[in-house]
Amino acid sequence: MTRLPLEGVTVVSLEQAVAAPFATRQLADLGARVIKVERPGAGDFARGYDESVHGQSSYFVWLNRSKESVALDIKSPGGREVLERLLGEADVFVQNLAPGAARRLGLGAAELSRRHPSLIVCDISGYGNTGPWADRKAYDLLIQCETGVVSLTGTPEAPAKVGISIADIAAGMYAYSGILTALYERRESGVARPVEVSLFEALSEWMGSPAYYTAYSGTQPARVGAQHATIAPYGPFDAADGRTVLLAIQNEREWASFCAVFLDDAALATDDRFRKGSSRVARREELNAVVAARFAELTAADAVKLLDEAKVANARLNSVADFWDHPVLAGRDRWRDVATPGGTVKALLPPATPTGLTPRMDPVPAVGEHTEPVLRGLGYDTDALAELHAGGAL
């Protein structure tokens, strides 16, 4: 089997919920050894979010394959000693504890860098480790609200949150790429630089387009449901058979082709009402009525056929069940079986894997499943383990 790029890299993580586990799972996918330190008993509180996957949390199963779980009370003297030994052998430490908790435990980046100069420390927080909101709690929906995402999403009558944990995912992605960058720099220069990512700043980056649009036009993009706020026609339309098809016009060439082939009215492309993109947005309701009338004459399959002929991008409005059975995922052999404590589940291959490599798709661990073998690897014998148990560290 070909060696994975991150084999030989050890990651210790005090992680919970979504952002940090997403970052470390991606490191594990590419071969890193990820030791997940959890609370004895309940473990990562995301384990209790739901029981939908063989009695386990859908979030936890998604985010924690290929990791080793060590159950450790890091507030106990014995637990702190174990954690310090783990960090002494690690390349990366990731944490997303409550605001200020890592610093209070002596696990801040500056302190750890002094004790372990080669350790790359990645802190994931809500609003940053410094600044006026450093001590403020943050969860995904709160960050969606503070960054303005929710004000952009929904209908004219009511805002809506994004249906996935977009702030957590953004932060996890930047933590992952930041850690990779820090590993590369340490290899080149010998310097282990800390990485800091906040949910707020991660999602702020993703707000770039609407932020520029608002700042320089003086008007915030409107909430238009599943339509595009600044492009038209771009969104869902109901066909005669009740199925919904989305189309996306990106440029004037596509607009002209759409008019000629789909609407069967080439002259509409140069109609003063719709000649420019901004004109089409300004007259969105009038334009949508024209497009909707045409859709009402066609089945979804016929509409897609014409859109394809016009070379206009389109999609079906799928349910999650439709996605699960999507022909592209099956046709590209993207599914693998992954073991969990409750049974085997299907899991998608990582989206970005270097050609010729097979990513790790190892089991999702039970709480503390690897505590004893990991500690024995650190030099703890049977008597020492018994002492740690007696002291409440394990």
- Chain-centroid distance of CA 295 in Å reads 35
Based on its alpha-carbon atoms, the radius of gyration of the chain, rounded to whole angstroms, reads: 26
Distance CA(92)–CA(56), nearest Å, equals 28
Instruction: Return the residue matching tokens 């403020």.
Output: 136
Q: In the structure encoding, which two tokens stand for residue 290, read together?
A: 């024209």
Distance CA(115)–CA(138), nearest Å, equals 29
What pLDDT is stored for residue 230 in this prediction?
86
What pLDDT is stored for residue 275 in this prediction?
87
Q: Is the dihedral of CA 87, 90, 95, 100 positive or negative?
A: positive
Q: What's 255's DSSP letter?
A: H
Helix (H, G, I), strand (E, B) or coil at 283: coil
Residue-range domain boundaries for the chain: 10-207+334-390, 234-316
Of 161, 93, 107, 98, the closest CA to residue 127 belongs to 98
* Domains 10-207+334-390 and 234-316 alike in fold: no
What pLDDT is stored for residue 373 in this prediction?
96
Q: Where do the H-state alpha helices sit in the chain?
A: 19-29, 58-63, 77-88, 101-104, 109-115, 140-146, 149-152, 166-189, 199-206, 208-217, 252-257, 277-282, 284-295, 300-309, 320-324, 327-331, 371-377, 382-390
Helix (H, G, I), strand (E, B) or coil at 313: strand
What pLDDT is stored for residue 1 in this prediction?
60
Q: Is the dihedral of CA 169, 174, 177, 183 positive or negative?
A: negative
CATH number 3.40.50.1220 given to 10-207+334-390: no
Output the furthest CA–CA distance in the chain (Å, rounded).
86
What pLDDT is stored for residue 353 in this prediction?
83
Walk along the chain (394 residues) and give the pLDDT tens digit of each residue. Answer: 679 999 999 999 999 999 999 999 999 999 999 999 999 999 999 999 999 999 999 999 999 999 999 999 999 999 999 999 999 999 999 999 999 999 999 999 999 999 999 999 999 999 999 999 999 999 999 999 999 999 999 999 999 999 999 999 999 999 999 999 999 999 999 999 999 999 999 999 999 999 999 999 999 998 988 889 889 999 999 999 999 999 999 999 999 999 999 999 999 999 999 988 989 999 999 999 999 999 999 999 999 999 999 999 999 999 999 999 999 999 999 999 999 999 999 999 999 988 889 999 999 999 999 999 999 999 999 999 999 999 999 9
Q: Cα(first)–Cα(last) distance of the chain, in Å?
A: 36
What pLDDT is stored for residue 2 in this prediction?
79
Q: Are strands 345-348 and 335-338 parallel, antiparallel or unpaired?
A: antiparallel
Q: Do 2 and 83 meet the contact criterion of CB atoms below 8 Å apart?
A: no
Class of domain 234-316: alpha beta
